[in-house]
A and B are shown apart, each in its own frame.
Chain A
Amino acid sequence: MSLITPSHIQLNEEGRLKHFLTTEGLSQPLLTEILDTADSFISTQERNVKTVPLLRGKTVVNLFFENSTRTRSTFELAAKRLSANILNLDIARSATSKGETLMDTLWNLESMYSDMFVVRHADSGAAHFIAQHITPNVAVINAGDGRHAHPTQAMLDMLTIRREKGPFENLTVAIVGDILHSRVARSQIYALKTLGSTDIRVIGPNTLIPKDIESLGVRAYNNMAQGLKGVDVVIMLRLQKERMQAALLPSEAEYYRLFGLSTDKLALANPGAIVMHPGPINRGVEIESAVADGPQSVILKQVSNGIPMRMAVMAMAMGGQNQTRQEEG
């Protein structure tokens, strides 16, 4: 039986994006094109009129099954800056909490004739499921599905790395924290690999590192000092408080001592190493305030790169859908 993975269904016949579900399986030229497109959108954000007419007349629906004001608002702003109409559906608070299935929600939405769904859902594979079952010619952008992928976050992180540190081939990158539960980490790892980074590390306690992580092409470290040696980019992941209750970690204190990014620990990385965090940051839990606010931190740049990156993938996916629709007559 042949597999129809998320990597496959997100590309149209010409190999252009028509959904954006995962960074996995996308070629280096395509990932580079996403970065270049986002770069172009950065210049539009710096001028007076920040909108472009690309998605004029299109309707974008934010389908957030998990709460997230931050991510949702950046997508909303990105859609508006592409001149699209945007509708926010916080499903967490509406019908599905009354027991309506995901399929029924989708069928009800079909009557709204939208052109694009931006989806965040707690189940891995949800964006893939939606892309397979909605009407054709509707683009799906994955804003995070379970533990599987968060491709727009990963790409804005790649954009930040490229702008701050240059080409990926010679970069050593370390991702620190709760890799097990992180969709961002998985998406970052696939992107880094494809873009050419050969030394990708994950650092954390065994209980927070998935068993077969090496199959993704990374090396796992329990010792942060060793793991940070020679590193150019340090990506800190947020530690959720619930992990302390689930027999995964003893205490915040022990975690911070071993894996928190303090000024001392940062000094073990290469001089000029940049510090990143997908946010929101837990000061004093995974990262010292001085580091988060310090000269090596590019956390705020990540935030500002978020809108151009989302504009880029939304424009590309809509473009890919347009192409397909044209070909089908």
Chain B
Amino acid sequence: MKVQPQNTIVIQGGHVFDPQHSLDAVMDIFIENDTVVALGTPPQGFIANETINARGKMVFPGFIDLNAFLGEPGFSQKGTIASETRAAAQSGITILCSTPDSKPVIDSATLAALVQDKAQQAGYCRVQPIGALTAGLQGEQLSNMFALKDAGCVALSNQDASFQDSRVIQQCYHYAAGFDICVFSTPLDTALAHEGCMHEGPTSTHLGLAGNPVSAEISSMAQQLILCEETGTKLHFSRITSKQALDMVISAQQKGLAVTADVALGNLYFNDEDCADYNSLMHVTPVYRSQQDRQALLQGVNDGYLSICSNHRPHELAAKMAPFAATDAGISVLDSFAAAIFNLVDTGKLTLAAAIGALTALPAKAIDQPAGQIIPEGRADLCIADMKQACELSTEDLASKGHNNPWLGESLVGKVTCTINGGHIVYRA
């Protein structure tokens, strides 16, 4: 006798869109417990406990965010796993990759497990942590890479910390490759970056701010590509900023290297000229570069080369209330993540297929997970969105503890109205 499932949902009349699986039509979706059991026609004897009316709306696979700082453990005034994953869920995110630079750093299995457990308790989205590539993120000694992978880390990175020297990078890649561990890298030659808090260009000259040149990113990327080829590592460049970096990723892929890349949402919206009034909301790591770089990165997403990550970094008010260079770098993104990307589609900067691909199939590939898809027998991670609804967020609407959100007060077209994580409705507008 078939055991009646405890939780059954039907999503009715939504326009289901998963370009990876050639899904682009209005159809119903049937969910039992944590699985999508059917698309289009209900299975025999299916009875829905819950019906979601999705007429006039789009249904996408749940989004995957490859880089978000949650604040916990260690920085509770900036954010907690509960608050930040709640913000993520409101943007349709069902898998979130947390950064290793908490306090303490995620360089042990216990801490990796802690983060996942807390996320599960909060229940808003799954957190698949990125562990530290070096012990303490000091850039000197290998971390317990295998243990971290075993404890659930989908990738390892040194986040924004530097390495002692290139040999350490090489050894890390070599070791990781041996265990099929994915390495996330944000390439930057710290000496060439010269403590630049923004892109080196006419704006930095005019503002009198120390500038970080493109050469700092691409010279490091060039070195890491060579090491990647030499060691056979699965390498993902996290948050690239320049046209030249994108071109190098494309050449590497054409050469057959297992290299992927993503761009932070902010770099698709802003460029160095937006710093012209010393607005501390434009102080970010990695930096916003020129208009041309921004256009190239948008094209890179449209051509299917780049995932989009949030690069979410919430801060308390005081951390952003100081002259530009003295503020903490970072913006709070998760509350506006989906709306801002939908807005880029609405204004014609991105195609819908490219945008959704950049949030689902591409990031899933980068972390080698069966996710970001709507398939029968697949996990019920979905989001429903009203692509026509315009919405403007104010401080009171934010779920994230960080109010350093540059889209506050901006009218964005497109909004997630419902998010389902493993068959649970974790957000409903």
Contacts and interface: CB of A to CB of B under 8 A. Distances in A.
Chains A and B share a contact (CB less than 8 Å) = yes
Contact of A123 (B213, B324, B406): B324
A149 B205 contact: no
B34 interface: no
B260 to A, nearest CB: 31
B206 A101 contact: no
Contacts of B205: 210-213, 215-216
Nearest to B205: A210
Interface stretch (A125-133, A249-257, A259-267, A282-290): A125-133
A4 interface: yes
Contacts of A6: 277-278
A112 B25 CA distance: 67
B206 A3 contact: no
Interface in A18-34: 24
A183 B200 CA distance: 17
Nearest to B191: A247
A211 B323 contact: no
Interface string A170-213: 00000000000001001000000000000000000000001111
Given A102-B323, A123-B323, A186 B208 contact: yes
Contacts of A129: 278, 322-324
Given A212-B201, A212-B202, A216-B205, A121 B323 contact: yes
B284 interface: no
Interface string B256-297: 000000000000000000101111000000000000000000
B26 interface: no
Given A6-B277, A216-B205, A103 B321 contact: yes
Interface in B202-225: 202, 205-209, 211, 213
A94 interface: no
Contacts of B1: none
B230 interface: no
A212 B322 CA distance: 26
B208 A146 contact: yes
A121 B211 CA distance: 19
Contact of A101 (B211, B213, B322): B322
A210 B207 CA distance: 11
Contacts of A123: 322-326
A244 to B, nearest CB: 17
Interface string B177-217: 00000000000000000000000111001111101010000
B274 A1 contact: yes
A324 B213 CA distance: 42
Contacts of A145: 208, 323
Contacts of A102: 322-323, 326
B392 interface: no
Nearest to A181: B208
A231 to B, nearest CB: 23
B377 interface: no
B318 interface: yes
A88 interface: no
Contacts of B211: 211
A32 B278 CA distance: 28
B150 interface: no
Contacts of B201: 211-212
A101 B322 CA distance: 8
A213 B322 CA distance: 27
Contacts of B277: 3-6, 8, 128
Contact of B278 (A24, A125, A183): A125
Given A1-B274, A3-B276, A5-B277, A215 B206 contact: yes
Contact of A183 (B208, B318, B322, B326): B208
A120 interface: no
Contacts of B200: 211
Contact of A126 (B202, B213, B321, B323): B323
A82 to B, nearest CB: 28
Nearest to A124: B208
Given A183-B208, A215-B205, A124 B318 contact: no
A186 B207 CA distance: 9
A147 interface: yes
A133 B321 contact: yes
Nearest to A147: B208
A183 B209 CA distance: 11
B410 interface: yes
Contacts of B207: 124-125, 148
Most buried by B among A101, A103, A123: A123
Contacts of A103: 318, 321-322
A128 B209 CA distance: 14
Contacts of A8: 277
Interface in A60-110: 101-103
B193 to A, nearest CB: 14
A5 B276 contact: yes
Interface string A206-233: 0000111101100000000000000000
Contact of B324 (A125, A210, A215): A125
Contacts of A183: 208
A28 B253 CA distance: 55
Contact of A124 (B279, B322, B323, B406): B323
Interface in A129-183: 129, 133, 145-149, 183
A181 to B, nearest CB: 9
B9 to A, nearest CB: 40
A160 B287 CA distance: 41
A243 to B, nearest CB: 14
Interface string A112-124: 0000000001011
B318 A101 contact: yes
Contacts of B324: 123-125, 129
Contacts of A121: 323
A146 B277 CA distance: 15
Contacts of B213: 211
A153 B185 CA distance: 46
Nearest to A180: B205
A124 B406 CA distance: 21
Contacts of A148: 207-209
A8 B277 CA distance: 9
Contacts of B279: 3-4
A216 B208 CA distance: 12
Contacts of B322: 101-103, 123, 129
Which 6 residue pairs of A and B lie closest in terms of their CB atoms, listed nearest first?
A148-B208, A147-B208, A125-B278, A123-B323, A215-B202, A124-B208
Given A210-B205, A212-B202, 6 more contacts: A125-B207, A125-B323, A145-B323, A147-B209, A183-B208, A216-B206
6 contacts: A6-B278, A103-B318, A103-B321, A124-B278, A146-B208, A148-B207
